[in-house]
Amino acid sequence: MNQRSEPMFNVPAAVVATVVVLVGVHAVRMLVLTDEEDLQFLLTFAFIPARYDINLVIGGSFPGGFGADLWTFFTYAFLHADLLHIGLNLAWLLPFGTALARRFGTWRYAAFMLVVAAAGAFAHLITHPGAIVPMIGASAAISGAMAAALRFVFQPGGPLGLWRGEADGNAYRVPAAPLLATLRDPRFLAFLGVWLGLNALFGLGSVPIGEQGQEIAWQAHIGGFLAGFFLFKVFDPVGRRGESDARA
């Protein structure tokens, strides 16, 4: 087995494909579709809580019908408001998505990202019942990837060793910390505090995002994060470290 250190930004094909899809969808919306076509595209593929309110939706108010009721739990994550929105998401996706894709492999990574995206949409639905404003963006899915990565990146020999030039390809195969041990890890708690603080800062309107000051769906971010944190073991192909992990 090749034990050479891997370049820190040697991005897996699955993450490259994610970036290509996200950028491609945004480019088509901005460069190909007319304003009217883009609106219909948005109403068909964005997540809109009002779809699920029987008191508001009469006679199929939104395009896509029953199919859209299902697929928008996932497709909203492929849409972005502007270049700043997509740029910020890609900046978070590259490090955390790379760590996760290297550990999970392509298909587990893809399935995981879809599941945590749906969890984010569900969190938005229960906190914004009947809302007509569409929710878009990959932030909830990326928050889930971030939470999952934090289960193993701090472990001895883990991916953070790449920053010191010490880790090799096995860094992504280190056993994950048990759930309770992660919750007690001061590094995890410090990261979580900063992440929650940023969500509060931007999500509660203290600092506007983008030219129009778009609202941040911070509840969806938290939903994706919690799903990624607690569902990590369901997708993780790496063996458990011991009996304590069996209870994680």
* Owner of token pair 């008191």: 55
Average pLDDT, the chain: 83
Query: pLDDT of 93-128, one tens digit each?
Result: 999 999 999 999 999 999 999 999 999 999 999 999
* Helix extents (H) in 46-173: 65-75, 83-104, 106-127, 139-149
What pLDDT does residue 245 have? 38
Q: Quick one: how far is CA 55 from the chain centroid? A: 31
Amino acid at 92: W
Residues in the chain: 248
Separation between Cα atoms, residue 204 and residue 27, nearest integer Å: 29
Amino acid at 244: S
What pLDDT does residue 166 have? 45
Q: What is the CATH number of domain 13-246?
A: 1.20.1540.10
C-alpha atoms less than 13 angstroms from C-alpha of 198 in its C-beta half-sphere: 11
Query: pLDDT of 6-22, one tens digit each?
Result: 444 588 999 999 999 99
